[in-house]
Structure 1
């Protein structure tokens, strides 16, 4: 499940976090500022359809039953590698993406990520940890700073590359002492540039440039992060065509699009569109109820407590299964079980993990489902 050196260093991470003190979070200074052409993908006009039947007919294409049982899956999407040209041995790449209002019109690359984590940050805003492996994106951004919680969220990915704009001294020490591989702007300014938007909401890169920074001795691909449905089976739970909740002060919605076989995202009542790749969506949306505490490193930042367990609601195929999440160590995957203790398996494809605060309107116990 994890790289061999992970367990030996888990205690060291905790000591680094405890030793770091608070401070501000300066952004990296980028001296080269090329002109970036604005590329906007055409987004097809969508029509809202009211679903009145409680019976769900799956339109998600399931993997071919003719594949041999030993064909490997892509580690983050669960798609069969035989249909995707094999499993690339490159590492996962996690990039921190800004979700402040000034950044949203220029979101780029999010729509083609394998996995996205959404976490609460200061000011009632959210930020994304966008994880690439099976696909590339150009550009990726706007890129912002990291947080203490990123270590516990991303360490299961087998020494992933970590693209970010920088952070306060405590966060920087923590990231560099962790299992994340720092390919951030402070040390690699030539791989980042200033583009559309106003500072600090205008820092960009692309996956090719960030992958070029991977160390030669990187351990390769991450392990399979979730349980995925067996060949020829579909996700089955209770009907859930529309899902809404909040993280911080951000109102979030996911609407099931049967034609596309995925949930499509909105925030603040507006469709969430990637400037380059179009409407943002996912085959799986996992809502985890977590506690937030004050970061031990930055007195202004909340920290999601993602080690432990709590309630979970898993949405896929226009349906929902409720249950529990568990993650014992930073280097372990999230384990998802239903209310009877059985593993919850996901539909192969893209996955979003939404970290909502226990007791908030976004708590899985209070998520609005239609």
Structure 2
């Protein structure tokens, strides 16, 4: 009798739930999200070794400033427009410190916003417009310019201001309260599905032509048609298309300094493995990581290794 009652109850439930009342569908499975780099991997390169204190160096990239020193050892390199259509590099070191880095030049307003995502890195630079004194003094960086650490700099061959070089080890040693590497939004892993061939890519930052060529899992880099990185180049190149605004800072002839706006959202191309993926970059505020998302809503993953970010006019 008990068994019969139980069976009847079960049958009743089945009949009731298969009636005319609609049954709510199950929610769709969430899209997979690339995980943050593991604790034993660098969040800046995706390679073994979490890295040490972060040092950013502002490097001359005018024709007179090349070839540079030490840039090949950087985890991340930002290529930014400055006055006169030329560019400067913001080289970020954490995994490896070269014996020398430079030529060291002045920083720009763009650098402070970019570096806010890194927490509190050291920033090596030589001079700045007086209007930016407040930014560097109150910004999320530890300044280690020649004014603070004169003994960490030397003059090399060539003419000033294109011949100043910093000792990264001495610069990091002099910096107090510098943050270690942290998540700035890069996601490393297998290449996304699809992608378009991109073995040879031409971009323009300011008015400076940038030529990229895929070779052996990396990219070679040339500026103004002259090779600058021919081996051990970036494994991933991010072409981040951003608004370029005129800042309140002017050069000696009165031209306004361009500022690359890296807070907001815009189009992005991610180059890796000789292919291009397009998507959207997004960053809600200066202290937040930048996300790079494909058309399918999934993260655009980077190849493990050095990352270069070209801040191109969007």
The TM-score range, normalised by the shorter chain, is: 0.7 to 0.9
Match of 2:46 in 1: 78
Alignment of 1:1-370 (within 5 A): 72-81=40-49, 87-88=50-51, 90-105=52-67, 107-215=68-176, 217-218=177-178, 220-230=179-189, 233-236=190-193, 237-258=195-216, 261-273=217-229, 279=231, 281-298=233-250, 300-358=256-314
Q: What's the offset of the Cα at 1:291? A: 1.2
TM-score when scaled to structure 1? 0.70
Contact 1:235/1:347 (CA < 8 Å) preserved in 2? no
Rounded Cα–Cα distance in structure 1 between residues aligned with 2:197 and 2:231: 23
Distance 1:326 1:197, change over 3 A: same
Q: What's the offset of the Cα at 1:325? A: 0.6
Q: What's the offset of the Cα at 1:228? A: 2.9
Structure of greater Rg: 2
Rounded Cα–Cα distance in structure 2 between residues aligned with 1:264 and 1:104: 15
Q: What's the offset of the Cα at 1:282? A: 0.4
SS at 2:298 equivalent: coil
Rounded Cα–Cα distance in structure 2 between residues aligned with 1:229 and 1:181: 28
More strand by share: 2
Rounded Cα–Cα distance in structure 2 between residues aligned with 1:70 and 1:114: 17
**What are structure 2's unaligned runs of at least 5 residues?**
1-36
Runs of 4+ deviating beyond 4 Å: none
Distance 1:114 1:70, change over 3 A: closer
Distance 1:234 1:325, change over 3 A: closer
Task: Write the deviation string for residues 174-224 of structure 1: whole angstroms up to 9, x where unpaired.
Answer: 111001111111222221111122101011012111111121x43x31212
Q: What's the offset of the Cα at 1:149? A: 1.0
Distance 1:211 1:342, change over 3 A: same
Rounded Cα–Cα distance in structure 2 between residues aligned with 1:257 and 1:159: 35
Rounded Cα–Cα distance in structure 1 between residues aligned with 2:306 and 2:104: 21
User: How many residue pairs end up in the alignment?
Assistant: 273
Q: What's the offset of the Cα at 1:248? A: 1.2
Contact 1:103/1:197 (CA < 8 Å) preserved in 2? no
Task: Write the deviation string for residues 142-162 of structure 1: whole angstroms up to 9, x where unpaired.
Answer: 000011111111111110000
Q: What's the offset of the Cα at 1:280? A: 6.0
**Structure showing greater relative contact order (alpha-carbon pairs closer than 8 Å, 6 or more residues apart):** 1
Task: Write the deviation string for residues 14-57 of structure 1: whole angstroms up to 9, x where unpaired.
Answer: xxxxxxxxxxxxxxxxxxxxxxxxxxxxxxxxxxxxxxxxxxxx
Rounded Cα–Cα distance in structure 2 between residues aligned with 1:333 and 1:323: 16
SS at 1:123 equivalent: helix
Q: What's the offset of the Cα at 1:71? A: 5.4
Distance 1:139 1:227, change over 3 A: closer
Match of 1:47 in 2: none
TM-score when scaled to structure 2? 0.82
Task: Write the deviation string for residues 335-360 of structure 1: whole angstroms up to 9, x where unpaired.
Answer: 100122211111111000001112xx
